[in-house]
Amino acid sequence: MNRKSIAVLSLVFLGLGASIQHVCADWVDKTITPYGFNGSAVNGLCGRTQVGVSMPTDNAGFWSGTAHTWVDLNPVGSSKSYANGIYGDKEVGTATFFGIDHAGLWTGSSGAWIDLNPAGASVSNGNAIYCNTEVGVAILPAGQHAGLWMGTSASWVDLHPSGADASEAFAVYGNTQAGFATISGSDHAALWQGSSQSWVDLNPAGATSSYANGVFGEMEVGCATFSGVTCAGLWQGTSDSWINLNPSGADGSEIYGADDDTQVGYATLSGLDHAGLWNGSSATFTDINPSGATFSYAQAIYKAGSDVWIGGEVDGQAAIWHQGSIPVISGQIIPEDVDPDSDYYYSGLTGSIEIQSTGGDILEKYPITLSNYQYYEIITGQPDGAYVAVAKLSHWLAQAVPFTVTGGTGSVSFSLFNGDINGDNFVEDQDYSLLGRAWYSQSGDANYDVRADLNCDGRVEDLDYSILAKNWYASGDDF
Ligand SMILES: [Ca+2]
Ligand SMILES: [Ca+2]
């Protein structure tokens, strides 16, 4: 529901797939750059799910609170992509095809990409989503126009105010859209209610430019520039309602998102941008830049009672903040019989993990990518108590292990039987057939099947057969 910051990417390298936790005031933060990437940013969040981008290849994706839960959304044929907004199970953003940006929509997977580029548009960007409405911008023959969609390219509604030089929508809440329109060469924060005619100019008196980056209920948030200083602020529907939130002593500031009575963004303190939050006045600014971090941005906030989550970035790494501790379940998932010299031995295997009640009801399910030494970490929404965790990796059988969540944390580890080549959670005849089809092949051969290479050494041969024979007719736990 907010605008992506123009952040300077850090060259600081924190380790692939690493989750690093800091404490600042009563806010705990965690960086969540996925395995295989060296930087990332959270652009939006809904509940405990975050959307954003991972670098250096610029892949759109989403997380469920940890590096290990990253799901890559980059569509087939796209050279780069960005996920900018999320609502429920829908993500909105932009993907680049043959050098051209197209706005689009996902529902949880890269294959679910829906291209929203309006007819006649040379370029478009999707910036935010709320319920069934997406907002953004398209470059049309008539110029740069703000607009909204309802899930399809054909649903495009042009919001461009009559007489404006350019416009863009950054945020949506209910039937309200927020962004800016360029009037006589100067960018003015703008508000719409679903049509170009509904446009309201929010530019505060005395401001040389302004942007509405976020909206929640009757409140718009963003920034306005006075005498060269960019100041965080909020509005309630009119330019006269502007409240300047620039903290005392800050060189500048900006707000990107809001939920309930809280606004998030950053303030520039002694030349460095620090993530922060406000509660409606400049004096309420709280600096949540982690101790030891150089710079940070808070992009989005989600509040559910006392459970408050903020998403953004710290030193060029995607980050989440939570008040109090971050509730995690962690441990190891050992895939048995892997060649210790294999690349897979240390990291990169993918699968999923379920948290079940002791009665077998599925409470949470997450995709996972293991990091170094088969470590995983997920954020749990479950209260303290007894549970069962079930882990499954590609050609290993599922294993259920009872465990408890105590004080918001749980620890549970697994050792999975190998040999389920077709992934049906049973080692039997079909797996034997697939092994036979790939028999004596090497990585790169036409008949090589990575699933049949049970010990992950790049060859399908006797050692793989031995593993199959050892676990013949074994079945996994319910999953
Ligand atoms: Ca099988
Ligand atoms: Ca092998």
The ligand with the least distance to the CA atom of 441 is 2
Taking the centre of ligand 1 as the mean of its atom positions, its distance from the CA of residue 345, in whole angstroms, is 22
Task: Assign 324 a pLDDT band (cuts: 50, 70, 90).
Answer: confident
The predicted pLDDT at position 17 comes to 43
Q: Give the alpha-carbon dihedral of 242, 247, 252, 254, to 10 degrees.
A: -50
Name the DSSP class of 117: P
Q: Is 178 exposed, middle or buried (0-12, 13-18, 19+ CB in 10 A)?
A: buried
Q: State yes or no: pLDDT of 22 exceeds 70.
A: no
Q: Identical fold at 21-323 and 328-470?
A: no
Q: Is the pLDDT of residue 8 over 80?
A: no
Distance from residue 429's CA to the centre of ligand 2 (Å): 19
Q: List the one residue out of 306, 346, 335 whose CA is nearest residue 322.
A: 306
Per residue in 264-308, pLDDT tens? Answer: 999 999 999 999 999 999 999 999 999 999 999 999 999 998 889
Kindly state the tokens that stand for 3: 């605008």
Q: Does the pLDDT at position 338 exceed 50?
A: yes
The encoded tokens of residue 330 equal 């962690």
CA 290 / ligand 1 centre spacing (Å): 47
Rounded-to-integer distance, Cα 277 and Cα 448, Å = 53
The pLDDT value given to residue 345: 65
What average pLDDT does range 331-339 have in this prediction?
Answer: 94
Q: How far is the CA of 343 from the centre of ligand 2 (A)?
A: 13
Buried b (16+ CB within 10 A) or exposed e, 180-210: bbbbeeebbbbbbeeebeebbbbbbeebebb
State the average pLDDT for the chain.
93
- Average confidence (pLDDT) over 240-262: 97
**Which pLDDT belongs to residue 18?**
42
Q: Which ligand is nearest to the CA of 433?
A: 1
- What pLDDT does 417 receive? 98
Distance, in Å, from the CA atom of 20 to the CA atom of 138, rounded to the nearest integer, reads 38
248, with CB counted inside 10 A (0-12, 13-18, 19+), is exposed
Residues listed for the chain: 479
Q: How far is the CA of 458 from the centre of ligand 2 (A)?
A: 6
**The pLDDT of residue 219:** 98
User: What b/e readout covers 249-279, taking b as 16+ CB neighbours within 10 angstroms?
Assistant: ebebbbbbbbbeebbbbbbbbeeebbbbbbe
Average of pLDDT values for 418-433? 97
| Distance from C-alpha of 80 to C-alpha of 97, rounded to nearest angstrom | 8
Convert the pLDDT of each residue in 52-98 to its tens digit: 999 999 999 999 999 999 999 999 999 999 999 999 999 999 999 99
Would the CA dihedral through 371, 376, 379, 381 be positive or negative? positive
pLDDT band at 5 (very low <50, low <70, confident <90, very high): very low
Mean pLDDT of 361-384: 92
Listing DSSP states for 267-307 in one string gives EEETTEEEEEEESSSGGG-EE-PPTT-S-EEEEEEEEETTE
Between the CA of 464 and the centroid of ligand 2 the distance, in Å, is: 5
pLDDT the model gives residue 346: 62
pLDDT confidence bin for 26, thresholds 50/70/90? confident
- Among all bound ligands, the one having the nearest atom to the CA of 342 is 2
Tell me the CA–centroid distance for residue 426 and ligand 1, in Å: 4
The reported pLDDT for the residue numbered 24 is: 56
The rounded Å distance from CA 82 to ligand 2 centre is: 37
Q: Is the predicted pLDDT of residue 21 greater than 60, yes or no?
A: no
Q: What is the CATH number of domain 328-470?
A: 2.60.40.4130
Q: Which two tokens stand for residue 289?
A: 């830049």
Centre of ligand 1 to C-alpha 473, Å, is 9
Rg of the chain (C-alpha set): 24
Find the 460 Cα to ligand 2 centroid distance in Å. 4
Does the pLDDT at position 16 exceed 50?
Answer: no
Contact 393, 351 (CB under 8 A): yes
Alpha-carbon gap, residue 208 to 467, rounded angstroms:
70
* DSSP single-letter state for residue 171: E
Instruction: State the pLDDT at residue 349.
Output: 85
Expressed in angstroms and rounded, the spacing between residue 438 Cα and the centre of ligand 2 is 10
Q: How far away, in angstroms, is 454 Cα from ligand 2 center?
A: 5
> In 10 A of CB 446, how many CB atoms?
5
The answer to whether residues 443 and 343 touch, using CB atoms and an 8 Å cutoff, is no
Q: Determine the distance separating the centroid of ligand 2 and the alpha carbon of 69, expressed in angstroms.
A: 28
Fold type of domain 21-323: Neuraminidase (2.120.10)
Mean pLDDT to the nearest integer, 320-338: 93
Distance 183 CA to ligand 1 centre (A): 64
- At 109-135, the pLDDT tens digits run 999 999 999 999 999 999 999 999 999
* Residue 149 pLDDT > 70: yes
Q: Given a cut of 70, is residue 344 above it in pLDDT?
A: no
What is the token pair recorded at 21?
């936790």
Residue 413 CA, ligand 1 centroid: distance in Å: 23
Residue 358 has which token pair? 């002791």
Distance 419 CA to ligand 1 centre (A): 7
- Report the alpha-carbon distance of residue 69 to residue 67 in Å, rounded: 6
Rounded to the nearest angstrom, the distance between the alpha carbon of 466 and the centre of ligand 2 is 10
Report the alpha-carbon distance of residue 188 to residue 167 in Å, rounded.
Answer: 9
> Distance from the CA of 403 to the center of ligand 1, in angstroms?
27
The pLDDT of residue 97:
97
pLDDT at 325: 87
Which one, of 14, 47, 26, lies nearest residue 379 by Cα? 47
> Quick count: other Cβ atoms within 10 Å of Cβ 464?
24
Using 50, 70 and 90 to split pLDDT, how confident is the model at 25? low
Q: How many degrees, rounded to 5, is the angle at CA 400 between CA 399 and CA 404?
A: 140
Average pLDDT over residues 136-153: 98
**Tokens in use for 327?**
């509730």
Residue 346 alpha carbon to ligand 1 centre in Å: 25
Q: How far is 68 from 76, CA to CA, in rounded Å?
A: 22
Task: Dump pLDDT digits (tens) for 217-247.
Answer: 999 999 999 999 999 999 999 999 999 999 9
Domain borders along the chain are 21-323, 328-470
pLDDT exceeds cutoff 50 at 103: yes
